[in-house]
Amino acid sequence: MGSKMQVDDAKITGTDKRITVKQIVSALILSLLFLGYALTFLVPKFYGMTDAYVGVFVFVMLLLLLAVNTDPVGRLKKKEKDLILLLLLLLISGINILIVHSGKGAFFVLADFLLILYLSDKLVIGRRQVLWAAGAYFALLFIWLLFVYPKMFAEYGFYGYNTNTAATFTIYTLLCAFLFVQMFMQRFEAAGFFAVLLIVRGVQLSLYHRARGAFIMLGVFLLLYYIVPKAWWLKKAVFRCLYLLATLGSLLFVALYTVAGTLGVNYRLPFFYKEIFSGREEIWMEFFRLFLQKPLTGIGTNVQISSFFEFNVHNAMYNILVVYGLIAFAGTLCLLYGKFEKMREKALSDRTAYCALCILMAVFFESFFDVDLLWVDYALNLLFILLVVNHEQNQVSGQ
């Protein structure tokens, strides 16, 4: 009985007990990122004051994590392919942005995404750290839903944030917090009650805000985690098809959606009170025409479009292609696909890593309709999910 309890405890907290200076510094940096994430959405005034600088802040924090947890000089001397590719992509995207006279903030959007991908299997955390971090997300979700959200959205006609933003923040945070519940479900089956509560609340809130993207994010997660057999979609060939669909398939979706939007056929989506073609087809067509003029360098962000009131590509993969150009896009896919290949093995051997991979795929598919995969305000979430997929697993991990 005693040995079983030790095994159960190891499933949740891991067996590592020694804390290094590197771990302490990394924890402080991640805590600062989490504090910024929480304040951004809990305090609208904080968001207004810091939104222009968040990309730079995240970039500096990621560079610090890189310096603390890796030996960049040593890795360069050994000609590590991932690091060389990262540096080349940063250089190419930076040059392209200067050539097209883009807003300089665009550099940090892609740079942050690339640094997160690179760090995803370099900054390895243990199960105890996963539990604490997921617990912090659970606490943030609790504060948001019980105290902040009712005040911020007390009246349907007045919002503290854009309704899609509120719903996406809720679902994204909810899925990160779900990892906390999932870890306890491995030991206490009764924790499944909280999982049901989170899912029901997520569905209800997505429909209330008419947020199609947030609903898709939650729906894809539930489909992969609960319905589609893990043993099937994590087969090497099937998984490769899935991440190709999540990336290149996103561009195919843009093309098909745009063409279909020109046919004049439309209908209203049930529950969301929105038409299926509500303007994105015009935005994507306009961006395509601009991209054709500068396919190698991309168009940058210092462009005024007539189809929408702000510069928003509304699709993460399309955003990388259009803003940064073909070469940067192809290089980003190379770095991304290398990480995907490693993540499959991690998810096969550990239930928590598998849950995190389901969340990651859900974010990719949600980003068919928006740029939340790249949005720097959500950078911590992406980093956290990737770290959980690649976290230090022990031999007694639950399936």
The CA distances from residue 352 to 44, 160, 308, 388, in Å, are 33, 34, 40, 7
Give the per-residue pLDDT at 161: 64
Mean pLDDT over 372-391 rounds to 97
**Residue type at position 181:** V
CA geometry: angle at 310 spanning 304 and 313, to 5°? Answer: 90
Strand-pair partners of 158? 155
Q: In this structure, how many other beta carbons lie within 10 angstroms of the beta carbon of residue 369?
A: 21
Higher-pLDDT residue of 317, 278: 317
* Helix residue ranges per DSSP H, the chain: 2-13, 21-42, 44-50, 54-69, 72-77, 81-99, 105-119, 127-143, 149-152, 163-185, 192-208, 212-222, 230-233, 236-261, 280-293, 316-324, 326-349, 351-366, 379-389
Task: Look up residue 348 and give its two tokens.
Answer: 């096969």
List the domain boundaries for the chain: 18-250+309-389
Residue 6 confidence (pLDDT) above 80? no
What percentage of the chain carries pLDDT values higher than 70? Answer: 90
Tell me if 44 sits within 8 A of 79, measured CB to CB.
Answer: no
**How far is the CA of 164 from the CAs of 26, 171, 203, in angstroms?**
32, 11, 14
pTM value > 0.85: yes
pLDDT in tens, 169-182: 999 999 999 999 99
How high is the pLDDT of residue 272? 61
Structure tokens at 68: 């603390």
Position 20 scores a pLDDT of 85
Distance separating alpha carbons of residues 31 and 125, to the nearest angstrom: 14
* Model pLDDT for residues 36-67, shown as the tens digit of each residue: 999 999 998 899 899 999 999 999 999 999 99
- Sequence-ordered list of residues with C-beta below 8 angstroms from that of 203, at least 6 positions apart, any chain: 215, 218
The reported pLDDT for the residue numbered 14 is 43
> What is the Cα 83 distance to its own chain's centre?
21
Interval 314-372: pLDDT, tens: 999 999 999 999 999 999 999 999 999 999 999 999 999 999 999 999 999 999 999 99
Q: What's the chain's average pLDDT?
A: 90
Whether pLDDT at 301 is above 80: yes
